Amino acid sequence: MLSEGLFGNRVDEFGTIVHQDWEHYLVHQGEMFSCADVDNDIDNASPKYWMILTPATAKAHIAISAGLSDAGLFEIYKAPTTSGNGSQLTCQNMKDWSTNMAVVQVFKDPTVSNDGTLVFISRLGGAGLGNSQVSGSVRDHTERLINVSSKYIIKLTPDGDTKKGLLNMEYYEEEA
């Protein structure tokens, strides 16, 4: 039998502290979210864009993983110029029965006229839809921190045309 301890640590029946990672603790508290998207037709001349918006009330701690069915570039930009948000993705609470809702918003296919300031770039590998971690291994204690009232875009550009791409994100929010 385990009893609740400080910061997600547990104490077993012998009084031994059993460590639990912070992110795992947040899942149990209903404060960790995930968001995913797949696009089956990404072209070199028309890259795939996703946009992250943080409100004035929350910062985001995000780990991102991307996959591409061909070689290409994965880029993250801050402060882009956009004229439309695109379609909002439904980000899920990782504790299925939690009623906590995410306040950070994620959109696919925003209308982007200027990418903004490049903050990360990675070359994705060849054939097959393997994932490449761009800010952790979707939770390897490495994450991108996004400040309040911020706009970021994620851009996936394959070397060829008609390629499949995917995005997976896990994140938790911190009150401002």
Q: Are residue 63 and residue 140 in the same domain, yes or no?
A: yes
* 25 and 38 within one domain: no
Residue at 45: amino acid letter:
A
Tell me, yes or no, whether 98 and 160 share the same domain: yes
What is the C-alpha to C-alpha distance for residues 41 and 163, in angstroms, rounded to an integer? Answer: 5
Q: Kindly state whether residues 107 and 22 are assigned to the same domain.
A: no
Distance CA 76, CA 156 (A): 9
Q: Which residues of the chain have pLDDT under 70?
A: 1-10, 12, 16-20, 126-142
End-to-end CA distance of the chain: 36
Per-residue confidence (pLDDT) for residue 83, from 0 to 100? 95
**For the domain that residue 167 is a member of, what is the CATH number?**
2.60.120
Domain co-membership, 4 together with 64: no
Range of the domain at 114: 32-175
pLDDT tens digits, 5-28: 455 566 767 776 666 677 778 888
For residues 119 and 93, membership in a common domain is answered with yes
Taking the model in full, what pTM does it have? 0.81
Which position has the token pair 């110029």? 81
Q: How many domains does the chain have?
A: 2
